[in-house]
Every structure is written in C-alpha cells, then in structure tokens.
A and B are shown apart, each in its own frame.
Chain A
Amino acid sequence: MLKVSGIDVFYGDLQVLWDVSFVVRDKEIVVLVGANGAGKSTTLKTISGLLKPRKGSIEFDGVRLDHLAPDRVIGQGVVHVPEARRLFREMSVEENLIMGSLSPEAKKKRYETMDWVYQLFPRMKERRKQPAGTMSGGEQQMCAIGRGLMALPKILMFDEPSLGLSPILVQEVFEIAKRINKEGVTVMLVEQNVRQTLAMCDRAYVLENGRVVLEGTGKDLTNNAHVKEAYLGI
C-alpha cells in the first residue's frame, strides 16, 4: 500500500502542494485528477523522490520512500512513467527497455520480462532497433510504459499517459493500464482526462491548487455536482 500523508512540497520558496494525503491499496486503480498546474506531476515526482516533501511522509509497504535517495525508489517496486514519456531519445527501444531493468532482480529476468513487454506491445518488437526519439507519440508512450514494466513494478504510476494522443490511442493506453492492473500491478494514474479515467478506476482523488478537495469511488465522483460542473462540463 502506498500511503501519502500530509505532504507539503515546494519549488524553492514556492509552495505547490499543501497537506496532500491519499492512499493507494494493493491491486487498486486509483486516479488523481486535476486541472493543468494543480500539482499532479509534483505529487508523483515527490513519491518517486525527485522532490522531497518539506512536511509529511510517504510510505510504501512500510518503507519511508521520502527517506530514500531518488534512485533507490524504483528498487522498492515503485515505478514512475513520467509526463511526456522522457525516453532516452537517442537510444533504441530495446535499450530503453533495458534501462528499465537495472536492479539486480529485474536484470535477472530482463529478457523474460522483455518478451512479455513485446507481447503486450507487438509494435515495440517491430521497432526494437529504432531510436526512441524518432517514434510517434503513441509508440513512445508504449515504450515508456514498457520501460516501466521492465522494472517489475508493484505499483506503476502513470503521469498523463493520454497527453497528446488521438482519442483511439487514449482508449488503448487506458486499456493497457487496466490489463497491467489485471496482471497484479497496482496502478496510479494522474490525468486531466477526467471522464474516461473516472469510468475505469476504483477510486479517485481530485486535486485543486495543490490540495486534495474530493475523494471517492469513480462512480461517486462522476455523479458529484462539483466534478460535473468543473471537469465534465455538464
């Protein structure tokens, strides 16, 4: 279980998150929705250690992630697929996948896991020698997700995987998230695409101006008056 408790996060002197708390239980799909600039990416970056909270704590399966060096977080099974993919552009697809499996356990199963990723994304197998930066947005997203899977995640955190993709591809990416979840991986999704993600998740949190303002099941939030007005345009 991932447990974020009362974190305050700053960029220099600028506070971006205020007392943010939420939990993601094992095998759940949880989404954190919010408008552009609400602090969604900041939240994920803090979980994965790129930023440190000034207050509060982050625990995963009893381990304080906020006490770890950022490069040690992935070793706990907490894997972050960052916003805008952030692939190693000049490396091939295959090398990007390899970069996902540096930890000793992941490395041991590297080529096994790679076969699984190629099964999930046959497209990536075709493109395995191609420099990642030369692929289309959708393919790059698949590669980024594949790279995350190579780490054998217990929880996979997606930062706006639908960004810049066509509606069909968005649908496909969400299907993949569900499929990964079915394989036993906890999924945390950060999205501006509120309608579709609320429909597919177990639970959701709404982030506004750096604060969690609402939480509930996907269904509850879809029917919530504030969500309807602010995010669903009804």
Chain B
Amino acid sequence: MDVFLQTVVAGVLKGGLYTLIGIGMTLIMGVMGIINLAHGQLMMLAMYVTFVLNTMGVDPYVSLFVAMPLLFLLGVVIQKFLLNPLIKVETILPENQVLMTVGIGMVLTEIARFVFSSDYKYITTDYSNRTFYLGKISFSVALTIAFGIALVFTAAMFWFLLKTDLGRSIRATAQDKDAATLMGVNTGRITVITFGLGSGLVAAAGCLLAPVYYIFPDIGGPFTAKAFIITILGGLGSTVGAIFGGVTLGLAESLGATYLGMEYEDIVGLTIFILVLLFLPGGFKRLTKV
C-alpha cells in the first residue's frame, strides 16, 4: 500500500509539470490547429538558460523569471517570422507549418549541441536531492515546489483565458477564426501571442525540471513526444483536458516504473496514447466536455 501511495504521489507531482508542458502545446493546437513539434526543444532551451544562470549563482526558481520572458519572445518571433508567413503562401498545406516546427526543433537542438556540446549537465542545488516525509510517503522537495508553482501558473492561465478580453479572444479564435475576426480580433496577433504563451509555459516547466533532471541537447525530442501524448489524451485543444492528460501521463509513467521496471516508463505512456487513440479518439474531452 505504501509503495502504491508513494508511486501515486510521485506520479501526480510529475503530472503537475506535464500539465504545464501540455497546456502550452494545447493552446497552440487549439488556436493554430497545428502540433508544435518543437515544444520539447523550447523546454530544452529554457533548461540551458537555467543552467547558464546557475553557473553564475542564480537559483533555478529565479531563472524562471528570465527564461519565461525570453522564451515568450522566442515564441513570438517563431510564430511571426517563421510560421505565419507560411499561411500566406498559397497552395501550401497546413502541414507545412508542422514541418517547419520540426525544422525549428532540429535547429534549436543543434545550436545547443554547438554551444554546450552533447555532455550531460547538472544543476545541483541544496534541495535537488532533499526529501521530506508525510507519514511514510516521501516527497521530493524540488518536485513538490515544482508542483506548487505549476499549479499557480495553471490557475493563472485559466484565469487569464476565462476572465480577460485577450484570453477570451484566444479561445474565440480557437473556436471560430472568422467569427473572431468579425468581432474585431486580430487573429494573426493572437497566434503570435499564443505561441509566445505556449513557449513561456513550457519554459517554466524546463526551469522547474532543471534541478532534478540532467540537461543535454537531445532532451527536447522525448518531451515533444510527451507533450503530444498529453494533448491527445486531453482531446486536442482542450485546456482542461491537458490537466487530465498531464496527470494521467505522470501517473502512468510512475506506476509503470514501479510495477514494470524503470525501463518501461516511456512504453507505458505510449501504450496509453495508442489505447486512447483507438478507444477514445476525442481524448478525455469526450468525457469532461470542456
């Protein structure tokens, strides 16, 4: 029982971070109708920002406030100058934007390799390996803080999407782009802001993950895959779904690692992914309706 509880706790904590990764991807999916296959690579970049700042003695949780705006800006630039121009070119399929994100992901990875080499980097903080206990269940301090911050960002994101005109305009653009235009929404600008937000959120996840993970250029790919799984689980474009998707993936990986073995962690996620595609093609959105 203790092992099970421990596993669930670890899974939920990880799920909080996954939610942050998934919501960004989901927003982009909802508004632009494309999968951002550079999502994990953007997170990788944020991790290196955290790493560099850490060599100068800056705490990862402080780096958050540097990495997020930086990645927001990078996201804005990517959408404005690399993705939006593709829409204007006639006879080009929407898939071309997805291909572009693949290219962007590769470029980011190779830039990181060029600058930092392929070596694994670590950020060691005095809380990296610390744990505390509630009863017999141990909590990683870093992951618990990460979970708390992820929760705050997720809540703030929901407040923004539900309660501000800009947030409503983002949702409106996702639901009906032409109707949003008729209401005076500059949908081109909305896509740029959305990509910026998605990048900023995944940057936050990168900073929060940095103290407990190793950092290397190819870390982006697997996290892009995770983001994709979360988005599919949540039902393409549903932000509430992304929370379900994130926590489900966290739990599944955690349970898989405990009961099947560490090496099965990723397989469990991918298996669930395939099962959902086969049996619940709308993702959890079909069940939650939001």
A-side residues, CB < 8 A to B, are: 48-50, 69-75, 79-80, 82, 86-91, 95, 98-100, 102-103, 107, 147, 151
Chain A residue nearest in CB terms to B185? A71
Chain B residue nearest in CB terms to A79? B182
CA distance A147 to B168 in the complex (A): 14
A-B contact count (CB 8 A): 64
Do B175 and A90 have beta carbons less than 8 Å apart?
yes
Do B168 and A95 have beta carbons less than 8 Å apart?
yes
Do B181 and A50 have beta carbons less than 8 Å apart?
yes
Measured between beta carbons, the chain A residues less than 8 angstroms from B171 are 88, 90-91
Q: Which of B158-210 contact A (CB under 8 A)?
A: 165, 168-169, 171-172, 175-176, 178-187
Q: Which of B210-263 contact A (CB under 8 A)?
A: none
Min Cβ gap A149→B in Å is 12
Knowing A71-B187, A88-B175 touch, does A50 contact B165 (C-beta < 8 A)?
Answer: no
B-side residues, CB < 8 A to A, are: 165, 168-169, 171-172, 175-176, 178-187, 290
Min Cβ gap A38→B in Å is 20
Min Cβ gap A99→B in Å is 5
CA distance A88 to B175 in the complex (A): 6
Measured between beta carbons, the chain B residues less than 8 angstroms from A70 are 181-182
CA distance A48 to B168 in the complex (A): 21
List the 3 shortest-distance A-B pairs measured between CB atoms, nearest first.
A86-B179, A74-B184, A88-B175
CA distance A50 to B169 in the complex (A): 17
Measured between beta carbons, the chain A residues less than 8 angstroms from B169 are 99, 102
In the complex, which of the residues A69, A90, A91 contacts B186, with contact meaning CB atoms closer than 8 Å? Answer: A69
CA distance A79 to B175 in the complex (A): 19
Do B178 and A82 have beta carbons less than 8 Å apart?
yes
Measured between beta carbons, the chain A residues less than 8 angstroms from B178 are 50, 82, 86
* New A-B contacts (6) at CB < 8 Å, excluding given A88-B175, A95-B168: A72-B184, A82-B179, A82-B182, A86-B178, A88-B180, A90-B175
CA distance A147 to B169 in the complex (A): 14
CA distance A157 to B179 in the complex (A): 14
In the complex, which of the residues A74, A99, A107 contacts B172, with contact meaning CB atoms closer than 8 Å? Answer: A99
Measured between beta carbons, the chain B residues less than 8 angstroms from A71 are 181, 184-187
Most chain B CB atoms below 10 A, which of A74, A80, A102, A151: A102
Measured between beta carbons, the chain B residues less than 8 angstroms from A86 are 176, 178-179, 182
In the complex, which of the residues B175, B176, B185, B187 contacts A102, with contact meaning CB atoms closer than 8 Å? Answer: B185
Provide 28 A-B residue pairs closer than 8 Å at the C-beta atoms, listed in order of the A residue: A49-B181, A50-B178, A50-B182, A70-B181, A70-B182, A71-B181, A71-B185, A71-B187, A72-B184, A74-B183, A74-B184, A79-B182, A82-B178, A82-B179, A82-B182, A86-B179, A88-B171, A88-B175, A89-B175, A89-B176, A91-B168, A95-B168, A99-B169, A99-B172, A100-B183, A102-B165, A102-B183, A103-B184
Most chain B CB atoms below 10 A, which of A88, A95, A98, A103: A88
CA distance A80 to B180 in the complex (A): 11
CA distance A91 to B182 in the complex (A): 16
In the complex, which of the residues B165, B175, B180, B182 contacts A48, with contact meaning CB atoms closer than 8 Å? Answer: B182
Min Cβ gap B283→A in Å is 15
CA distance A91 to B163 in the complex (A): 12
Measured between beta carbons, the chain A residues less than 8 angstroms from B165 are 98, 102, 107
Do B172 and A91 have beta carbons less than 8 Å apart?
yes
Do B184 and A102 have beta carbons less than 8 Å apart?
yes
Min Cβ gap B184→A in Å is 4
Measured between beta carbons, the chain B residues less than 8 angstroms from A49 are 181
Knowing A91-B168, A98-B165 touch, does A75 contact B182 (C-beta < 8 A)?
Answer: no
CA distance A95 to B168 in the complex (A): 8
Measured between beta carbons, the chain B residues less than 8 angstroms from A79 are 182
Chain A residue nearest in CB terms to B178? A50
Measured between beta carbons, the chain A residues less than 8 angstroms from B180 are 88, 99
CA distance A107 to B176 in the complex (A): 21
